[in-house]
Amino acid sequence: MKQISIFGASGSIGQNTLELIRRDKAAYEVVALTGDQNIAQLVRDVNEFRPQIVVTADEKLRSELGEALTNTDCEVAAGSEAIAEAASRPTDWVMSSIVGSAGLVPGLNALRAGTTLALANKESLVAAGPLLTATAEQFNSSIIPVDSEHSAIFQALMGEKISSVERIIITASGGAFRDWPQADLARVTPQQAQNHPNWSMGQRITIDSASMFNKAFELIEAKELFKIDEKKIETVIHPESLVHAIVGFCDGGMMAHLGPTDMLHAIGYALNYPNRKRLDIERLDFTKIGQFRFFEANEQRYPALRLSREVMRKGGLWGAALNGAKEVALDRFITGDIGFLEMAIVVEVVLNEMDRAGDLGLAADCLDTILNADASARRLAGLINV
Ligand code: NAD
Ligand code: MG
């Protein structure tokens, strides 16, 4: 039986992961499940999957969770330290699907425990890519990408040498406002930004898709995961979201990965790697699809893409600052404090101010340094008036 843990079990990726476990229950033993405020979901999942431990990130909700589970022998804990401790418990496979930089320490602890880390939490790679990949190497553990584009690249690279790669093309749906005139973007509401045309995902990543911060993060994610030069990483708008990524090789050949817009595929690939298991999801019918369209992703329209280029070129703590500032800018947009286009302005001002102060030069290879840069970026992003 394969032992697994899911960090961020109550979210969109976490629930999709549990759906795969549900379809083949006898093959898995669930060690830890974690969530935040959705206690009802955690209780349902504990009753169904019987983990050894369940943790809510919110300490105020510990007693509510404990009281709902008095009839089980599941250990109940709360707080970020308890999540970090649960991530250190030995398992074969861990899903890292907490949203935001709260996923960083659990991911690191799982790697230190020698576990295979299925990584959906792209924020931890943006903030701390060099630390995560060095930790995986040091503890002989592995990171399997779950983001659909990176799972696609990972699959297209099977049996290939990274030195033969000429370019990596990551597709972008264009998000909720792909066809809106630029002038209308200033008036976008959080409600409107929460509707993704193709994928069903958590609230934050859906808004990040509309602003292209999600794609900006994915470019950095590709650089860190595949150790590839930033100049070789491209993005194009592909409204159908059926070609997830394309890898171009030095002999002119290209490998594209295609599939339905269903995260079960990428999660299942990471769960079964290096094998494949039959999965009941939609099969593409090309005669019905008719055409695949590709358009330039304009950096003028999407400043997040321009910022990610700068972050990739500069390295150091630029990624940690980008992520921290973006998380606060996104909070401020969701609460109505700033407008849709102002998120990128806040992030850019934070990066420039921290750069001017000389705060971004150190390497992202030490947790404390990364967390300090993250905290400074958050503080500044909360203060900037736009
Ligand atoms: P979600 O909002 O649906 O779920 C987030 C999970 O994180 C929940 O379980 C929540 O309880 C937990 N969480 C939130 N704040 C926390 C905190 N401070 N401490 C501990 N746990 C906390 O998000 P999602 O869409 O499932 O995305 C999860 C991650 O996967 C993100 O990093 C996202 O970028 C990435 N991702 C998601 C998709 C997708 O299809 N949803 C695709 C690719 C990558
Ligand atoms: Mg993606």
SS (H, E, C) the chain: CEEEEEECCCCHHHHHHHHHHHCCHHHEEEEEEEECCCHHHHHHHHHHHCCCEEEECCHHHHHHHHHHCCCCCCEEEECHHHHHHHHCCCCCEEEECCCCHHHHHHHHHHHHCCCEEEECCHHHHHHHHHHHHHHHHHCCCCEEECCHHHHHHHHHCCCCCHHHEEEEEEEECCCCCCCCCHHHHHHCCHHHHCCCCCCCCCHHHHHHHHHCHHHHHHHHHHHHHHCCCHHHEEEEECCCCCEEEEEEECCCCEEEEECCCCHHHHHHHHHHCCCCCCCCCCCCCHHHHCCCCCEECCCCCCHHHHHHHHHHHHCCCHHHHHHHHHHHHHHHHHCCCCCCCHHHHHHHHHHHHHHHCCCCCCCCCCHHHHHHHHHHHHHHHHHCCC
Ligand 1 pocket residue status of 273, Cβ below 6 Å: no
What dihedral angle (degrees, nearest 10) is formed by the CA atoms of 329, 330, 333, 339?
A: 60
Q: How far apart are CA 36 and CA 8, in angstroms?
A: 8
Total count of residues recorded for the chain: 386
Q: Rg of the Cα trace of the chain?
A: 20
The two tokens of residue 242 are 């059926």
The CA–CA distances, whole Å, from 288 to 241, 279, 283, 284, 337 equal: 15, 21, 11, 8, 44
Residue with the smallest CA separation from ligand 1 atom 7 is 98
The CA–CA distances, whole Å, from 201 to 12, 60, 175, 346 equal: 6, 26, 12, 25
Q: Note whether 298 and 330 are same-domain residues.
A: yes
Is there a domain that residue 266 lies in?
no
Ligand 1 pocket residue status of 96, Cβ below 6 Å: no
Q: Note whether 160 and 69 are same-domain residues.
A: no
Is there a domain that residue 294 lies in?
yes
Q: Note whether 324 and 375 are same-domain residues.
A: yes
CATH number, position 343: 1.10.1740.10
Is there a domain that residue 7 lies in?
yes
**Which one of 145, 179, 212 terminates a domain?**
145
pLDDT per residue, tens digit, the chain (386 aa), is 999 999 999 999 999 999 999 999 999 999 999 999 999 999 999 999 999 999 999 999 999 999 999 999 999 999 999 999 999 999 999 999 999 999 999 999 999 999 999 999 999 999 999 999 999 999 999 999 999 999 999 999 999 999 999 999 999 999 889 999 999 999 999 999 998 888 889 999 999 999 999 999 999 999 999 999 999 999 999 999 999 999 999 999 999 999 999 999 999 999 999 999 999 999 999 999 999 999 999 998 999 999 999 999 999 999 999 999 999 999 999 999 999 999 999 999 999 999 999 999 999 999 999 999 999 999 999 999 99
Is there a domain that residue 98 lies in?
yes
Tell me the CA–centroid distance for residue 357 and ligand 2, in Å. 33
Q: Note whether 24 and 160 are same-domain residues.
A: no
Closest-CA residue to 142 (of 7, 1, 274, 33): 274
Is there a domain that residue 13 lies in?
yes
Q: Which one of the ligands is nearest to 204 CA?
A: 1
Tell me the CA–centroid distance for residue 51 and ligand 2, in Å. 29
For the whole prediction, is pTM greater than 0.85? Answer: yes
**Which one of 145, 169, 193 terminates a domain?**
145
Q: Note whether 99 and 203 are same-domain residues.
A: no
Is there a domain that residue 274 lies in?
no
Tell me the CA–centroid distance for residue 147 and ligand 2, in Å. 5
The count of other CB atoms within 10 Å of the CB of residue 336 is 9
Listed residues: CB within 5 A of ion ligand 2: 147-149
Q: Note whether 165 and 216 are same-domain residues.
A: yes
Ligand 1 pocket residue status of 174, Cβ below 6 Å: no
Tell me the CA–centroid distance for residue 148 and ligand 2, in Å. 5
Is there a domain that residue 278 lies in?
no
Encode pLDDT of 282-314 as tens digits. Answer: 999 999 999 999 999 999 899 999 999 999 999
Q: Note whether 58 and 133 are same-domain residues.
A: yes
Q: Which residues contact 149 (CB under 8 A, 6 or more apart)?
A: 170, 171, 218, 222, 244, 245
Is there a domain that residue 310 lies in?
yes
Q: Note whether 201 and 314 are same-domain residues.
A: yes
Q: Please count the structural domains in the chain.
A: 2
Tell me the CA–centroid distance for residue 171 and ligand 2, in Å. 9
Residue with the smallest CA separation from ligand 1 atom 9 is 8
- Give residue 77's domain range: 2-145
Ligand 1 pocket residue status of 199, Cβ below 6 Å: yes
Q: Note whether 120 and 191 are same-domain residues.
A: no
Q: Note whether 115 and 194 are same-domain residues.
A: no
To which residue do tokens 């979201």 refer?
241
Tell me the CA–centroid distance for residue 203 and ligand 1, in Å. 9
Q: How far apart are CA 369 and CA 378, in angstroms?
A: 14
Ligand 1 pocket residue status of 11, Cβ below 6 Å: yes
Tell me the CA–centroid distance for residue 358 and ligand 2, in Å. 32
Q: Note whether 321 and 371 are same-domain residues.
A: yes
Q: Note whether 101 and 161 are same-domain residues.
A: no
Which one of 38, 151, 201 would you pick to mutate in the ligand 1 pocket, going by the greatest count of ligand atoms within 8 A of its CB?
Answer: 201
Ligand 1 pocket residue status of 10, Cβ below 6 Å: yes
User: What letter represents residue 271's amino acid?
Assistant: L
**Which one of 95, 128, 145 terminates a domain?**
145
CATH number, position 94: 3.40.50.720
Ligand 1 pocket residue status of 79, Cβ below 6 Å: no
